[in-house]
Chain A
Amino acid sequence: MSDVNPPALSVRDLTVSYDSEPVLEGVSFTVGTGRLVGVVGPNGAGKSTMIKAIVGTLPVDSGDVEVLGERGKKALRKITYVPQRGSVDWDFPVTVLDVVNQGRYGHLGLLGRMTADDRRVVADAISKVGLQDLARRQIGELSGGQQQRVFLARALAQRGDVYLMDEPFVGVDAATESAIVEVLRELRDSGRTVLVVHHDLATAPEYFDSILLLNKELIAFGDTHDVFTRDHLQHAYGGRLAIFEDGGFATLA
């Protein structure tokens, strides 16, 4: 790897604890640009914790994050974080358009006005997720899948280099799920790196180029066909793993 092309995301020795109980220990990995990575692991494996620690909304015990060769605040600016749908109040008095506009706030500062360019970026993002007819609706009137698309549109409007998404497929309909996957692939193809917290083992190999298998520590990370093996999954999930005869996997609740 040359200095000209630093990796999209490099995490070293990330350790996070809740109530002095470690939930994530010594996680290190490096992802190149233009990758679509699934973050997979059992419940309580620290998947969301890892994402939140990388974007800086959780205090970490130790660890170092580098984004495209930058650290600290500069690195943070290049990351776009898409939180879980349940993390905000959907009764909040804002419309779809208001929320997607928030994606431009980082560029606008406190008092800067939206330019025609900003407005075009926002309109593009909204139509890319298919919400153009609902742009003036208050967000509480939307279905779960539509709400997830609002978050995705806002993330697109941020125009980040690295996207971190926390369970975007939870509680969404099949149409939304495939629409989101489509958008994620477009992001990857345009050279962005996307990390997605995902819990469905059945669809993971189909969606992602790489898999980051996590259970408090990094179990395996690499190309999907290298990581998605019976040994690795059994290591991560233990007895909660069901293996089908056709080679597929699923978790037992």
Chain B
Amino acid sequence: MSPHELFIEPWTIGAWMWRGTLAASLAAVPCAVLGVFLYLRRLSLIADALTHVALPGIVAVFLMTGSMEPLPMLLGAAAVGALASYAIENLASRDGVRSDAAIGIVFTALFAVGVILLSTSVQNAHIDTQCVLFGDVLGISDESLLLLGVVAPLVCLCVALGWRWLGLVSFDPGLAVNLGLPVAFVHYALMGGVSVATVASFEAIGAILAIAFIIVPAATAHILADRLHVMVGIAVAHALTSVLVGMYTAVWFDLSASGCIVCVGGALYAAAFLFAPRHGVMTTALRRSARRRVASRISRVA
């Protein structure tokens, strides 16, 4: 196969390659950006919880309004997300409750409520569990694409505006309190942002794979970056590279697009883990053996 067939042709057969790549990119970038702050606050697992509790949020909104309009869905998910993160924190701060258990208890319980609601009263509605969990990036609807087109820039803008506070609250909440910053507000804004970003990406990549975009780019970037803005930049680059390479892989081998995207993301993480210039496992080992060789040569000469 010629390079032209491999790289150019997928873009010319209908609009789905364009739309899929755009949707996945718009889903990935805000998740990756917010994921950096979750990662640095050791809250990555919260993302797992928030994506799951979005389900009861969406179903509850549907039951109340009877509509599947994107905006109420987003608000419902964000509200349940904020509620869940409050419940998790409240539970975790009690004596004798472990914080990891608190996360697990709250999100599985709320998710189960969502599953029950879904199995009974809204069975006839077109809430496609398969789609919510795994996404359908090649068959993305106009509404979802539009929603992502609004949410992604909005999330990035909010992060840019709140940059200083987000950074300080993540690094040293004690100093943030001392300086009189609204620490609780920043925390819930971040949680709400994560809920909105994940719900907006449901149709593109699905709830479970949204978690991958929150955790993996940030984890990769942390290995490579030593400044906060560099870390965010690398996380975004990681996310976009995963999308593009993943889309090609899916087309060439006729595989699940979202599955490929996340696998590529994982492979990039592995590469950074092994070969990062300073902290990579292989790099450090090579450096050590090079040093040993030099040392033994010196001792032989001496």
Q: How far is the CA of A220 from the CA of B53 in the complex (A)?
A: 54
A93 and B227 within 8 A (CB) = yes
Determine, out of B18-26, B103-111, B166-174, the stretch whose residues face the partner at the interface. B166-174
The answer, among A57, A87, A93, A99, for a CB contact under 8 Å with B231, is A93
Give chain A's interface secondary structure class.
Answer: mixed
Query: Is A239 located at the chain interface by the 8 A CB criterion?
Result: no
B226 and A110 within 8 A (CB) = no
- The verdict on A55 contacting B177 (CB below 8 Å), with A93-B226, A98-B227, A111-B161 known, is yes
Q: How far is the CA of A102 from the CA of B165 in the complex (A)?
A: 10
A94 and B179 within 8 A (CB) = no
Total cross-chain contacts (CB, 8 A)? 74
B227 and A81 within 8 A (CB) = no
B40 and A106 within 8 A (CB) = no
Contacts of B162 in A (CB 8 A): 110
Residue-wise, chain B 215-229 has the 8 Å CB interface mask toward A (1 for contact) of 000000010011110
- The verdict on A57 contacting B174 (CB below 8 Å), with A73-B180, A89-B40, A110-B164 known, is yes
Q: In which size bucket is the chain A interface? A: 20 to 34
B95 and A92 within 8 A (CB) = no
B171 and A110 within 8 A (CB) = no
A89 and B171 within 8 A (CB) = yes
The answer, among A77, A87, A93, for a CB contact under 8 Å with B222, is A93
- Can you list 17 residue pairs at the A/B interface with Cβ under 8 Å? A52-B174, A55-B174, A55-B177, A57-B173, A57-B178, A73-B180, A77-B180, A83-B174, A91-B222, A93-B231, A94-B228, A102-B168, A105-B168, A105-B181, A111-B161, A138-B226, A138-B227
In the complex, the 6 A-B pairs of residues with the closest C-beta atoms, listed nearest first: A138-B226, A106-B179, A81-B178, A93-B231, A93-B225, A83-B174
Where the two chains meet, the residues of A that have a C-beta atom closer than 8 Å to any C-beta of B are 19, 52, 55-57, 73, 76-77, 79-81, 83, 87-89, 91-95, 98-99, 102, 105-106, 108, 110-111, 138, 154, 158
Where the two chains meet, the residues of B that have a C-beta atom closer than 8 Å to any C-beta of A are 40, 42, 95, 161-162, 164-165, 167-168, 170-175, 177-181, 222, 225-228, 230-231
Given A79-B178, A102-B172, 14 further pairs, Cβ under 8 A: A73-B180, A76-B178, A77-B179, A81-B178, A92-B171, A92-B228, A93-B228, A94-B167, A106-B179, A108-B164, A110-B161, A110-B164, A154-B175, A158-B179
